[in-house]
């Protein structure tokens, strides 16, 4: 079987460290698909990346065909069919979200252009580096000639966090919880929506008849979980973020389980009155052929609609703040 080329940026970072062995182990593309890993870092991180590559090789994963370490984006994305854009500048002390946008925007312009030039024509991209939605917006604008539907941002970690909270509250297994939705931005304005979700095939509202908890504590726990993990661990989420990135890409390539959907931030086509082009988290179904379709026609409560609008307003402000980078 021909190996699939997979690119990962920020590969020497925390998430990269947790992500790479899983990709090499077949967790994204299945147990028979060999992979070539192309790892992109900034120059100063190349020595650390060499160490990561040594360890990766030392795992002796049967599916790992080759490893390329580079600081050259075109080499890093060459022929890639799946691209994880993880690398980004971290938020420093006193930095506002808008400062982070300005600091990271140019990275995603450069990488979007390099993807357009060097990657496989149908390369699928997931942006993990924050602010993920707007970094994805910048990348797809820069990747001229590419189908913007191949550019997505990760809200799967938020989705998985919501599943876990609901399962814990109801005292069931996570696998019994289906069809949660994360709407909007990967930020505290996100809206974890349980109004179409089920627990053991029953509507969540019947199993957890506590709207105050759903709209209050549940939402707050899901949307601020990243901060809680930093406070507890002294480091940001890495294993769970890598796991979510794997879930995101695996479902995109191999399909969402029948009868279920997942959450992905994708360029809006205007559905649910979300301004066209914003990269907004929505419920999607992936048939397993590398495409996705937004789940249409769900009825939204006034609360979900109003909260989602606020999150989209934040995304619109972010788009405004990087307007000069959107060619």
What is the set of active-site residues? 186
Binds ligand NAX by CB under 6 A, chosen from 14, 25, 98, 291:
14
- Does 112 bind ligand NAX (CB under 6 A)? Our answer is no
Residue 167 near residue 173 (C-beta atoms within 8 A): yes
Q: How far is CA 155 from CA 27, 35, 172, 208, in A?
A: 19, 25, 23, 24
Return d(Cα 250, Cα 253) in angstroms, integer. Answer: 5
Return d(Cα 204, Cα 197) in angstroms, integer. Answer: 6
Binds ligand NAX by CB under 6 A, chosen from 47, 62, 90, 209:
90
- Does 184 bind ligand NAX (CB under 6 A)? Our answer is no
Question: Of the two residues 104 and 150, which places its CB atom closer to ligand NAX in the complex?
Answer: 104
- Does 105 bind ligand NAX (CB under 6 A)? Our answer is no
Stretch that binds ligand NAX, among 200-208, 235-243, 280-288, 304-312 (CB under 6 A): 235-243
Binds ligand NAX by CB under 6 A, chosen from 5, 6, 7, 10:
10
| Least separation in angstroms between CB 85 and ligand NAX | 9
Stretch that binds ligand NAX, among 165-173, 216-224, 237-245, 310-318 (CB under 6 A): 237-245
- Does 237 bind ligand NAX (CB under 6 A)? Our answer is yes
Binds ligand NAX by CB under 6 A, chosen from 154, 249, 264, 278:
154
Return d(Cα 257, Cα 239) in angstroms, integer. Answer: 23
Residue 69 β-bridge partners: 39
Residue 84 β-bridge partners: 8, 126
320 half-sphere exposure, CB direction, 13 A CA radius: 7
Return d(Cα 190, Cα 201) in angstroms, integer. Answer: 25
Q: Per-residue x/- marks for ligand NAX, 31-50, CB under 6 A?
A: ---------xxx--x-----
Question: Of the two residues 155 and 198, which places its CB atom closer to ligand NAX in the complex?
Answer: 155
| Least separation in angstroms between CB 108 and ligand NAX | 9
Q: Which long-range contacts (CB under 8 A, 24 or more apart) does 102-106 make?
A: 102/321, 102/322, 104/129, 104/130, 104/131, 104/135, 105/134, 105/135, 105/138, 105/322, 105/325, 106/325
Q: For residue 71, give the DSSP letter.
A: S
Q: How far is CA 275 from CA 62, 132, 152, in A?
A: 45, 18, 16
Binds ligand NAX by CB under 6 A, chosen from 12, 23, 214, 278:
12
- Does 163 bind ligand NAX (CB under 6 A)? Our answer is no
Question: Footprint of ligand NAX on this chain (CB under 6 A)?
Answer: 9-10, 12-16, 40-42, 45, 86-90, 107, 128-130, 132, 154, 157, 186, 226, 236-238, 241
């Amino acid at each position: 079987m021909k190996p699939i080329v997979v690119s990962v940026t920020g590969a020497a970072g925390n998430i990269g460290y947790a992500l790479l062995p899983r990709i090499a182990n077949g967790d994204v593309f299945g147990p028979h698909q060999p992979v070539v890993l192309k790892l992109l870092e900034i120059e100063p991180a190349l020595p650390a990346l060499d160490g990561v590559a040594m360890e990766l090789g030392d795992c002796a994963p049967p599916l790992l065909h080759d490893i390329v370490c580079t600081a050259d984006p075109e080499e890093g994305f060459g022929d890639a069919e799946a691209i994880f854009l993880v690398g980004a500048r971290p938020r420093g002390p006193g930095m506002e979200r808008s400062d982070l946008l300005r600091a990271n925007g140019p990275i995603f312009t450069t990488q979007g252009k390099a993807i357009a030039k060097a990657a496989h024509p149908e390369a699928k991209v997931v942006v993990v580096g924050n602010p993920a939605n707007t970094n994805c917006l910048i990348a797809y604008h820069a990747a001229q000639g590419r189908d913007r539907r191949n550019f997505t941002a990760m809200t799967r970690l938020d989705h998985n966090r919501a599943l876990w909270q609901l399962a814990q509250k109801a005292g069931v297994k996570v696998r019994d919880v289906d069809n949660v939705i994360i709407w909007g931005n990967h930020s505290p304005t996100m809206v974890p929506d349980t109004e179409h979700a089920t627990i053991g095939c029953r509507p969540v509202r019947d199993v957890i008849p506590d709207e105050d908890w759903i709209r209050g504590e549940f939402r707050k726990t899901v949307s601020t979980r990243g901060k809680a993990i930093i406070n507890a661990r002294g480091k940001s989420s890495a294993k769970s973020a890598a796991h979510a990135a794997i879930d995101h890409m695996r479902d995109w390539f191999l399909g969402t389980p029948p009868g279920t959907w997942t959450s992905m931030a994708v360029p809006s086509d205007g559905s649910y009155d979300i301004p066209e082009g914003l990269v907004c988290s929505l419920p999607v179904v992936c048939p397993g052929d590398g495409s996705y379709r937004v789940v249409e026609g769900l009825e939204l409560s006034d609360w979900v609609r109003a909260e989602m609008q606020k999150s989209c307003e934040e995304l619109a402000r972010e788009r405004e703040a990087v307007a000069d980078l959107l060619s």
